[in-house]
Amino acid sequence: MGVHDLWSVLEPAGSECCLKDLKGLKLAVDTSIWLFQGQVAGKHLHLRTMFWRVYGMIRSQIQPVFVTEGPTHPLKGTRGQVNNAMTSQIHEAGIILLEIICCQLLKALGVPVIESAGEGEATCAALNHVGVVDGVITEDSDAFLFGATVVYRHFSCDNRKAGQMKRYTMEDIKGKLKLERRTLVAYALMVGCDFTDGIPGVGKVAAVKLLESLKEEGDILERFHTWKDNKSLQLLEEHRNKKKPDHCRICAHAGTRMSHKSDGCGQCHLQDSCTKANDVTCSCDWHQMNEAFENQRYELDVRTKAKTPSGFPDQRVIDAFLEPSELHKLTDKDTKLQWSRPKLSAIKEVLSWAPVKDVLEMVTAYDMAEIRGNIDAAKDRIQPDWLVFVTIYLMCSY
């Protein structure tokens, strides 16, 4: 699921791209997303979907790295949406079985497979964060919160569908939207994500307005931590329910018309009257406090609603995004990736059918990439036993 409505917030920072734009890149693939899409497409189509996508990537000289899901994060169990235990176990068992079969296919295709220590998109993001891969292919927007710098959404191997695939970078998000990683975590805390239900009654619009209003107030997460004991915010909150004191209808300053007529108006600098208001701003205590209140209205509104879930902001959620265990559990094997030649016999065993022509194209593409870097590698590559010439006779019909 990721973070509620985050993709719509990031949409202005996205740019269209197609498969040829990814040539030569190493990309981490969130395998669970492709498995889900394969299931939706139809029964037993997840393997075919996986095969043709990998086939398209290898032909386009893209080096994919597939990341499978690990143990469910403990915070996911604390959310309000709790399924029936038996149904959940059956569903999880089915996903695990799908992953096992798909991993067999991926290894037969010669692409690296990494088992995540937790969230699949978190491990993809970690690989991108440390520079092992050039980007992440996923539909989960929380990849940026986990540290990804480049994310590809709506991946497609069909170059005819121009504009379908979108590329998002943290650089563009910072430059165009003025949003940083910690700001995105703050957004997730407010609207909800996989780890928290968020603040009741706070949606995308309110969260974005708050982030915009606090751009000049320093670190947003540290600001959240001060909410509980912030005395200035508490004073402004008390002002919300205060009634506006009497103000003169002539000069618009504090006091009444009668009191100004008898005692004068200090702000008009007159002792026995006042002057007609002409875009004059009253500087009384109430107006000064009200101006500060209006400037921080968005923050005060969200702060009031944040009192409902106790313990906001949840430091566990912040740590899950900014200090993901998946980053610290990357091994040398995970960071030293190796691709190998596709194995026809193993592919046939998994798929129960033999796409010989397509596999040979994949093998050829792999071999050509190897030979470009090392001409001696050609000695160990495929050599034809014989060449078959096909003659096509064209006949004229009378």
> Which amino acid type is present at position 158?
D
What is the pLDDT, as a whole number, of residue 272? Answer: 63
Query: Residue 42: what are its φ and ψ, rounded to 5°?
Result: 155, 170
| φ, ψ (nearest 5 deg) of residue 276 | -65, 135
What is the percent of the chain with per-residue pLDDT over 90, rounded to a whole number? 35
pLDDT tens-digit readout, 35-88:
766 555 445 677 888 888 898 898 888 999 999 888 777 777 554 444 444 334
Query: 169 has which bridge partners?
Result: 150
Structure tokens at 250: 């002539």
Contact assessment for residue 58 and residue 22, using Cβ atoms and an 8 Å cutoff? no
| pLDDT at residue 70, rounded to an integer | 81
Residue 98: what pLDDT?
79
pLDDT tens-digit series, residues 79-124: 444 444 433 443 455 567 778 888 899 999 999 999 888 888 999 9
Q: How confident is the model at residue 350 (pLDDT cuts 50, 70, 90)?
A: confident
Report the pLDDT averaged over residues 360-372.
74
pLDDT at 69: 85
pLDDT, position 51? 87
CA 228/CA 220 separation, integer angstroms: 14
pLDDT for 159 equals 63
Among 15-29, 157-171, 274-288, top mean pLDDT goes to: 15-29
> In the chain, what's the furthest Cα-to-Cα distance?
118
**Taking all residues of the chain, what is their mean pLDDT, rounded to a whole number?**
81
Amino acid 81: pLDDT: 46
pLDDT in tens, 293-340: 777 888 888 988 988 767 899 999 999 999 988 777 777 777 788 888
Strand pairing partners for 16? Answer: 166
Q: What is the mean pLDDT of residues 354-366?
A: 75
Distance CA 228, CA 222 (A): 12
Tokens of 79: 């959310």
- Residues forming CATH 3.40.50.1010 domain(s) in the chain: 6-182+320-335
- The predicted pLDDT at position 249 comes to 66
105 vs 232, more confident: 105
pLDDT at 224 over 60: yes
Average pLDDT over residues 381-392: 72
Reduce the DSSP state of residue 280 to 3 states and report it: coil
Query: What does DSSP say about strands 63-68 and 150-153: parallel, antiparallel, or unpaired?
Result: unpaired
**Is a pLDDT exceeding 80 seen at residue 188?**
yes
If pLDDT is split at 50, 70 and 90, which confidence band does 341 have?
confident
Instruction: Say which range, 19-23, 29-33, 103-107, 306-310, has the weakest mean pLDDT.
Output: 306-310
CA 147 from chain center: how many Å? 9
| CATH number for the domain whose boundaries are 6-182+320-335 | 3.40.50.1010
Which residue's structure tokens are 């029936």?
A: 84
**Cα separation, 210 vs 296, whole angstroms:** 9
